[in-house]
């Protein structure tokens, strides 16, 4: 059992970080669509997910865990692709 004097750091608390993350991620598409009126919603989504992929690659490179990306089996790729397409059109 933890002592009361031990406090969890704010950066490690999922109860604090998850609402912040959801608010930021949820408002990103709406705000970027308002700022970029000459782009349609699919282009905004493309750039948003592209920035996400580049960010995760940078994190994996910095942490040295790039091999985790290549640990997928070839049989898992069609399922992952199907899930990605379903989620894209929802």
Domain boundaries, the chain: 12-89
The pLDDT value given to residue 11:
65
Asked if 60 and 69 touch (Cβ cutoff 8 Å), the reply is: yes
26/33 Cα distance (integer angstroms) = 12
CA distances from 37 to 25, 32, 51, 86 (A): 19, 8, 19, 26
pLDDT per position as a tens digit, 15-51? 777 788 888 877 777 777 777 778 787 887 788 788 8
9-13, 20-24, 65-69, 85-89: least confident range: 9-13
């Amino acid at each position: 059992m933890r002592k009361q004097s031990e406090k969890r750091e704010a950066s490690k608390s999922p109860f604090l970080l998850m609402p912040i993350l959801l608010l930021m991620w949820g408002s990103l598409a709406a705000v970027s669509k308002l700022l970029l009126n000459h782009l349609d919603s699919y282009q905004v989504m493309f750039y948003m997910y592209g920035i996400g992929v580049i960010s995760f690659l940078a994190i994996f490179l910095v942490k040295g865990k790039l091999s985790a990306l290549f640990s997928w089996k070839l049989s898992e790729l069609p399922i992952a692709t199907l899930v990605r397409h379903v989620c894209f059109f929802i």
